[in-house]
Structure 1
Amino acid sequence: MSSGETGRAIAAMGTKLGPDIVAACRDLFDAEQQALAARIAPLSVDCAYGPDPRNRLDLYREGEAGGPRPVVLFVHGGGFLVGDKGGESGWANAHVGRWAATNGMVGAVMNYRLAPAHMWPSGAEDVGLAVDWLRANVAAHGGDPERIFLLGTSAGAVHVSAFLKAREDHAALVRGAALLSGLYGFTPLDERDMRYYGPQDCYDLRMPMGAVMATGLPLMVACAEFDPPRFQAEWASLLQARLGRHGHLPRAHYASGHNHYSMAMHLGTSDHRLSDELLSFFADLS
């Protein structure tokens, strides 16, 4: 499928969310992502970074170890309730680790505990545990523990943001964070959020808005042209809040022609726009 056909197919989906849109997006990128998966096998699978069965991550690297490489930790989406790091179950989410590997980095793709069995702040805790594990162990896999970057999408972006709030030492642990289509606390709670955060009066205190506004850690924030309006409002509000607090905007990306799912899902394909922005962001901090 040509890039024009892909763009028209995504535009036709509009800003809707749901399993049918996820499946349709996967179909668009399946051929390219299957080819990438055939090229790059996992380096290490189901590394236990914490005590829960969901506290597992996979590592990807292309070629021999060589010198220490930057590390990208990817935190998948799923609305707090679903999601998987992929691999044996399919290319989705695992493809981000492979994308990192093809660009000279070590890719780490993590699972985390899911709501409603595990509520706030389990996501932030799990990101912190994964970072701690990488700091202690990634050098043995060719990664540089002093050059770890976080990349989260949707609920994963929320968990990365909450890590900034939960760990006062975050700037000493990671070099930067890229947040794709996250929710930071600028818009009202919806019912799905309550299954992770609890009731509205808890939500206001628990969202990571203040931490994302205040942190000095370099950030890149992104949203998609066909993100639902709530996610676009969060992105625009965060940019405005950062400008007001710091006097300048964070690094930002507007993914034209993409939706909430396709933005992260197309990494590793022939559409390099987001990839180029992320790689430039990481390179500037390495």
Structure 2
Amino acid sequence: MEHAVPVKIAEMGRELGPQVVETCRALYADTHAALGARVPALAMDCTYGPHERHRLDLYRTSATSDLPVVLFVHGGGFRMGDKAGGANVARAMAEAGFLGAAMNYRLLPDARWPEGGEDVVAAVEWLRANCAAHDGDPARIVVVGTSAGSVHIATALRLRPDLPVAGAVLLSGLYGYTPLDERDEPYYGPDADYPQRMPRDAVAQTAIPLFVACAQYDPQRFQAEFLGLMQARLERHGTMPVGMIVPGHNHYTLAMHIGGEDRRLLDEIVRFVEGC
């Protein structure tokens, strides 16, 4: 039962790693299965580019047209992950009355910075050109990313300051406010190149509406990134974006729990999308 989940998450603390990921997935296996039964895919493996991982899935429950489009970009430390792992977010967005989408992107060892951001740009452009055929509104695309997915969205904002999206939701991402972790050097390149490759100025300056969140049990690095971005936005704009420190969740469950009984983050994202 989900009422026991917060205790189990608290017991895991701030740890990262494959074993923690699998433990977290097990906590939400039944929730994701039920959500999948309620919201089957509308279209699968839509090709948005030439690489084999340039694929995205679509979900919809509403019978109306001109729906806001919510594209989810999964995490995975630049090395792993799949759109199937983010299907719960896309399905939850469909249940909320939007056109939900979940994308794959290129991974290490094939991908290097800034290719993840390039893939987000390409997926957004594909949705702009094709979402109307699935009752989506190409003028109301909102991108949602977690961990590496948030990094790729932030990079897309650097590559394309005019990225044609109505809003961006960044969950537990890296924006350039903490030093490079050696685990991420294979993607970013040498430490000396890291400051020039981080999108901190692009995310701080963008006029695109932002929703920024981290988890209570996120590692300190991700919490510092959250605070750094909020402070930078305050200094540059005189106000902070919509933000949330989500109680009772860790780096992985921040996205995994969306679509379950705990609706605190989901409801805030839905309100944000509706306002974009």
Range into which the TM-score falls when normalised by the shorter chain: over 0.9
Give the unaligned 5+ runs of structure 2: none
Q: How does 1:58-207 map to 2 (within 5 A)?
A: 58-64=57-63, 66-86=64-84, 92-170=85-163, 173-207=164-198
Letter in 2 for 1:13: M
Using the alignment, how far apart are the partners of 1:116 and 1:236 within structure 2?
A: 31
TM-score (structure 1 length as normaliser): 0.95
Q: Which runs of 5+ in 1 are unaligned?
A: 87-91
Q: Where in structure 2 are the equivalents of 1:25-40 lying within 5 Å?
A: 25-40=24-39
Q: CA deviation at 1:245?
A: 1.2
Matched, 1:250 2:250: no
Contact kept in structure 1, 2:161 and 2:206, CA below 8 Å: no
Tell me which moved more, 30-39 or 255-264: 30-39
Q: CA deviation at 1:70?
A: 0.5
- CA shift, 1:82, in A, is 0.6
Q: What is the DSSP-based 3-state SS (H/G/I as helix, E as strand, rest coil) of the residue aligned with 1:269?
A: coil
Deviation (angstroms), 1:165: 0.5
Secondary structure of the equivalent of 2:110? coil
Tell me how large the CA RMSD over aligned residues is: 0.9
**Secondary structure at 2:78 match in 1:** coil
Q: Alignment partner of 1:165: what SS?
A: helix
**d(CA) in 2 for partners of 1:255 and 1:84?**
24
Measure the CA separation in 2 of the matches of 1:158 and 1:129. 15
Cα offset, 1:41, TM superposition: 1.2
SS at match of 1:93: helix
Per-residue deviation, 1:2: 4.0
Per the alignment, residue 224 of structure 1 pairs with 215
Could you tell me the percent identity over the aligned residues? 55
Worse overlay, 224-233 or 109-118 = 109-118
Query: Aligned pair 1:274/2:273, yes or no?
Result: no
Aligned to 2:17: 18
Q: Secondary structure at the match of 2:109?
A: coil
Asked whether the 8 Å contact 2:2–2:261 carries over to 1, the reply is: no
SS at match of 2:45: strand
Partners of 1:174 and 1:44 in 2: how far apart?
A: 21
**TM-superposition CA deviations, 1:57-83 (whole Å, max 9, x none):** 00011153x221100000000001111
1:89 is matched with none
Would you identify which runs of 4 or more consecutive aligned residues in structure 1 move more than 3 Å?
none
The normalised TM-score by structure 2 is: 0.98
1:237 matched to 2:231? The reply is no
Q: Mapping of 1:33-52 within 5 angstroms?
A: 33-52=32-51
One-letter code aligned to 1:174 = V
Q: Counterparts of 2:96 and 2:59 in 1: how far apart (Å)?
A: 11
User: What SS class does the counterpart of residue 179 from structure 2 fall into?
Assistant: coil
Distance in structure 1 (CA, Å) of the matches to 2:65 and 2:76: 35
